[in-house]
Amino acid sequence: MQAPLSWLGSRLPLIQAPMAGAQDAGLALAVGAAGGLGSLPAALLGPDALRSQMHRLQSAGRPWLVNFFAHHPPAPDPVVEARWVERLRPWAQALGLDAEAAAPRGAVRQPFGPATCELLEAFRPTVVSFHFGLPPDDLLNRVRRTGARIVCSATTLREARWLEARGVDAVIAQGLEAGGHRGHFLDPDPSLQGPTLELLQAWRAQVKVPLIAAGGITDADDVRAAMASGAAAVQVGTAFLCCEEALTSSLHRTRLLDPHAPTALTNLFSGGLARGLENRLMRELGPVCADAPPFPLASPALAPLRERAEALGRDDFTPLWSGKRRGGCRTAPAAEVVAALARGFAWNAPAPQPLSPAPT
Ligand SMILES: Cc1cc2nc3c(=O)[nH]c(=O)nc-3n(C[C@H](O)[C@H](O)[C@H](O)COP(=O)(O)O)c2cc1C
């Protein structure tokens, strides 16, 4: 068994997965107070929101993690975008949206850049995590100089080794069960990827840096299995989605709590492959559609459909991100989910270290 990751600074080697769109610092603070490492997802936050959320976390005086996307945004292609709008037209028309209202709108996810790096330099989080690979070396070196530990998701051994060669402190082994976007950046074909325990068992002898298990971990038995398979920590997302401190919508919560609702990998909502609960668009268009623009350019065209359907109380066009396993989801304080998972760790972890004061 791997030694648990003490540099996380939390009492337990348990990371609450960053979940853009479903949480803010509130969930991270609750998990931190309960002994896990709380995470702030930054992908959908503008600079002002990011600053105020990081200030909340830094002010609490506990270790914390902030997470960024490091994708390479493609140049928008008007032909591809027009084809996507055309593909969505029958559903837009059924909702009474005219062509103009159905045109793409809204901001798309921006990758980690120099301005965000300046904020990191001011706030100095304990851990910085990346999804979709790493930023360029100059930025990565700046992150490293803040003193933060750097971790990143990998979905194949090739990706894990690439990250190790770039000097990450730990690799997140994201199994196929995981909810939300696949973090792949070299191997987008999901048939090359595998479930969490298989990744751990296959990588443990091949990757020297510690592995963090992500995907399908919902209870103490899952924690035990991940740690026994070579993980030095676990990262849990879906099990926290119904917590009182999460910002998950009521439409999303209702579906998460349905034990029979199936999930699938889909590219419809952003253009990138992600796991979510099946909804009408996924069933009627197929969960994967070649006409969807590449990540992250598929989402703006869907925004008006989603908005109109949600106003009618329907989740037909809403991304309902969820892992395959939802047994740990409960409508309860996050501390209860942390306590349930904590039973899977066999040791008494040391108390966390105090942090430097927050910048004003
Ligand atoms: C609603 C939701 C949103 C997510 N958003 C992010 C994100 O912003 N950044 C990230 O690195 N991972 C994100 N993920 C993926 C998680 O980091 C993690 O891989 C996954 O939750 C683990 O699987 P589990 O959901 O079965 O616990 C998200 C997952 C979910 C369920």
Per-residue pLDDT of the chain (360 residues; tens, 9 = 90+): 778 899 999 999 999 999 999 999 999 999 999 999 999 999 999 999 999 999 999 999 999 999 999 999 999 899 999 999 999 999 999 999 975 555 555 556 889 999 999 999 999 999 999 999 999 999 999 999 999 999 999 999 999 999 999 999 999 999 999 999 999 999 999 999 999 999 999 999 999 999 999 999 999 999 999 999 999 999 999 999 999 999 999 999 999 999 999 999 999 999 999 999 999 999 999 999 999 999 999 999 999 999 999 999 999 999 999 999 999 999 999 999 999 999 999 754 444 454 544 444
Q: Is residue 190 in some structural domain?
A: yes
Pocket test for ligand 1, best of 321, 324, 329, 341 (most atoms within 8 A of CB): 321
Does residue 101 fall inside a structural domain? yes
pLDDT score recorded for residue 101:
57
Mutate-to-test residue for ligand 1 from 14, 19, 171, 211, highest number of ligand atoms within 8 A of CB: 19
Q: Which domain holds residue 102?
A: 76-107+247-321
CA angle 231, 127, 202 (to 5 degrees): 25
Residue nearest to atom 13 of ligand 1 (CA): 19
Query: Which parts of 80-169 are beta strand (E)?
Result: 127-131, 149-154
Let me know whether 161 and 194 are in one domain.
Answer: yes
Domain count for the chain, please give it: 2
pLDDT given at position 359? 46
CA 131 to ligand 1: nearest atom: 11
Residue 179 belongs to some domain of the structure:
yes
What pLDDT, on a 0 to 100 scale, did the predictor assign at position 109? 81
What is the distance in A from the centroid of ligand 1 to the CA of 179?
5
Do the domain assignments include residue 356?
no
Pairwise CA distance, residues 312 & 263, whole Å: 23
- Give the C-alpha separation, 245 to 22, whole Å: 10
Rounded alpha-carbon distances, angstroms, from residue 175 to 1, 273, 297, 323:
19, 13, 25, 10
Q: What does the alpha-carbon distance between residue 236 and residue 53 come to, in Å, rounded to a whole number?
A: 21
Same domain, 177 and 255: no
144 and 12 within one domain: yes
> Does ligand 1 have an atom closer than 6 angstroms to the CB of 123?
no
Q: Where are the alpha helices (DSSP H) in 137-195?
A: 137-145, 157-165
How far is C-alpha 276 from the geometric centre of its chain's CA atoms?
12
Same domain, 343 and 331: yes
173 and 264 both lie in a single domain:
no
Residues 56 and 119 in one domain: yes
Do 65 and 164 belong together in one domain?
A: yes
Do residues 145 and 175 share a domain?
yes
Task: State how far the Cα of 296 lies from the Cα of 72, in Å rounded to an integer.
Answer: 9
Q: Is residue 197 part of a domain?
A: yes
**Whether residue 293 sits in one domain with residue 271:** yes
Q: pTM to 2 decimals?
A: 0.94
- CA of 236, closest atom in ligand 1: 27
H/E stretch holding 201 reads helix 196-203
From first CA to last CA, the distance across the chain in angstroms is 42
292 closest CA partner among 69, 19, 132, 86: 86
- In this structure, the answer to whether residues 251 and 306 fall within a common structural domain is yes
Gap between the Cα atoms of 246 and 23, Å rounded: 5
The CATH number for 140's domain is 3.20.20.70
pLDDT the model gives residue 346: 76
Determine, yes or no, domain membership for 28.
yes
For atom 5 of ligand 1, the residue with the nearest CA is: 19
Assess whether the C-beta atom of 8 lies below 6 angstroms from ligand 1: no
Phi, psi of 85 (to 5 degrees): -60, -40
| Partners of 115 in the β-ladder | none
**157 and 220 in one domain?**
yes
pLDDT at 152: 98
Let me know if residue 273 belongs to a domain: yes
Q: Are 164 and 227 found together in one domain?
A: yes
Q: 239 C-alpha to center of ligand 1: Å?
A: 10
